[in-house]
Amino acid sequence: MKRLLAETSRSLGFAVAQSFTEDILIEILSRLPVKSLVRFKCVSKRWRSLISEPHFAKLHLQRLILENITPSQKIIKSNPLQTIDYEALDNDEVNNHVVVESHDLGKDEPWGLAGSCNGLVSLAVDDGFLVYNPTTKESRKLPGSDLVAEHEFFHGFGYSSTTDDYKVVHGAFSKANDGSKECVLEIFSLRSGSWRRVPSKDVPKLSGPGIYLNGSVHWIVNHGNGSRIEQAIIPFGLATETFEEAIPIPKVEGIVYEGLGIHRGRLFAYDVTWRLCFEAWIMNEYGKGESWTRLFSVPTDGLPACQFYTIPIAFTQSKKIVFQIDVSEMILFNPEDGTYKNYPIEEDDNVESAIYVETLVSPHVGHEP
């Protein structure tokens, strides 16, 4: 009897699914979480085809951005590659498997992250880069670049709405014949499927992964040293493929900014670890230096001891802060009472972390298999 009821229920569900017009179906499905949509591909060939369309993935992403992207945000970390549902640790009833999920990319195990944008993550692997959607598990290995980066290199990843294209930025500094440092800059277009070298004169000293926002990848640059250090944020526009005008960063006595992050679609900068308080400032209007305000200031004595760095990665809806402590710990810190919980991550050398959002965007843009 139970089997008969189950089969009848499935048949009725299939009949209802088939009765929807395409417009109504798109309207309903585009409001659902990605993990539900991945399961719903099994409902029928029609649903599978619709959900797999690049146009539907773009519509779903636009809905997320317009409504509330925060519940769909997760953390991805390298070495080993894992994704973290950082909100779930607030729930005492969840188990470790719910909080942290491991990802196996075989021989392409990444050693670092080049950037995150619209649900895609650019991973640095031994022989180049790989673009990965951690939600759908789709990946795309990029052809190798001719650029040899020995020690001083920088990279980034983001989206250009002008050309509807995702791009990897890869740059390196090397010694010129006169002893000065010169920059070689290459860009990979996911749509064209190839690397190109672009002009790169007077490039400031950049390092590591940049942060994507508003069509540009951003790095903090330092000029001078000691008490005379000057800092600014340098954007690289993915549409123009040029470095743009520097964005002023707030000058606060005793603070040297260490890195950048994204919180609710806005850029924030955080200070060095070796102080009594750990502080971050957020830019409320993009590009306007006068719009910076303090995001948080917490005593460092409430945090686990670190040897190298403490990085704020994310902020929960209950106003707790996710910190990465060196390469060994990731914690959920409550600034109200100074307590914290540890995320059950695995760790190895050179752990890097980033925020990503769960989407259907394919890394095979323009080259769908």
Write out pLDDT tens, residues 242-300: 999 999 998 888 788 889 999 989 999 998 656 678 889 999 999 998 999 999 988 87
User: Does residue 61 share a domain with residue 76?
Assistant: no
- Tally the domains of the chain: 2
> Quick one: pLDDT at residue 1?
44
Of 2-6, 181-185, 343-347, least confident by mean pLDDT is 2-6
**Residue keyed to tokens 């944020």:** 233
> Quick one: pLDDT at residue 126?
85
On the question of pLDDT at 220 being above 90, the answer is yes
Q: Average pLDDT of 112-120?
A: 94
Q: Is 137 left (phi over 0), alpha (psi -120 to 50) or beta?
A: left
Q: Are the CB atoms for 89 and 79 separated by under 8 Å?
A: no
248 belongs to a structural domain: yes
On the question of pLDDT at 349 being above 80, the answer is no
Closest by alpha carbon to 287, among 271, 257, 266, 260? 266
> Quick one: pLDDT at residue 123?
95
Q: Are the CB atoms for 50 and 60 separated by under 8 Å?
A: no
Write down the mean pLDDT value for the chain: 85
> Quick one: pLDDT at residue 16?
53
Between these two residues, 129 and 19, which has the higher pLDDT value?
129
What pLDDT band is residue 9 in, cutting at 50, 70 and 90? Answer: very low
User: Does residue 14 share a domain with residue 1?
Assistant: yes
> Quick one: pLDDT at residue 350?
75
User: Does residue 103 share a domain with residue 204?
Assistant: yes
User: Does residue 138 share a domain with residue 25?
Assistant: no
Residue 230 sits in a domain whose CATH number is 2.120.10.80
User: Does residue 134 share a domain with residue 52?
Assistant: no
268 belongs to a structural domain: yes
User: Does residue 34 share a domain with residue 103?
Assistant: no
User: Does residue 143 share a domain with residue 34?
Assistant: no
> Quick one: pLDDT at residue 5?
40
User: Does residue 307 share a domain with residue 289?
Assistant: yes
pLDDT in tens, 317-327: 889 999 998 87
On the question of pLDDT at 363 being above 60, the answer is yes
User: Does residue 160 share a domain with residue 49?
Assistant: no
Range of the domain at 37: 1-65
Q: Average pLDDT of 295-310?
A: 83
Tell me the range of 3-7, 38-42, 181-185, 333-337 where mean pLDDT is highest: 333-337
Q: Average pLDDT of 34-53?
A: 86
Which of 19, 38, 65 terminates a domain? The answer is 65
pLDDT in tens, 172-186: 887 777 767 788 899
User: Does residue 17 share a domain with residue 112?
Assistant: no
User: Does residue 22 share a domain with residue 105?
Assistant: no
44 belongs to a structural domain: yes
307 belongs to a structural domain: yes
369 belongs to a structural domain: no
CA angle at residue 270 from 269 to 274, to 5 degrees?
155
Which of 48, 65, 82 terminates a domain? The answer is 65
Handedness of CA 212, 279, 207, 331 (dihedral sign): negative
Q: What are phi and psi of 267, to 5 degrees?
A: -85, 135
Which of 16, 44, 65 terminates a domain? The answer is 65
CA–CA separation, 180 vs 323, rounded Å?
A: 38
* Residue 49: burial class (beta carbons within 10 Å; 0-12, 13-18, 19+): exposed
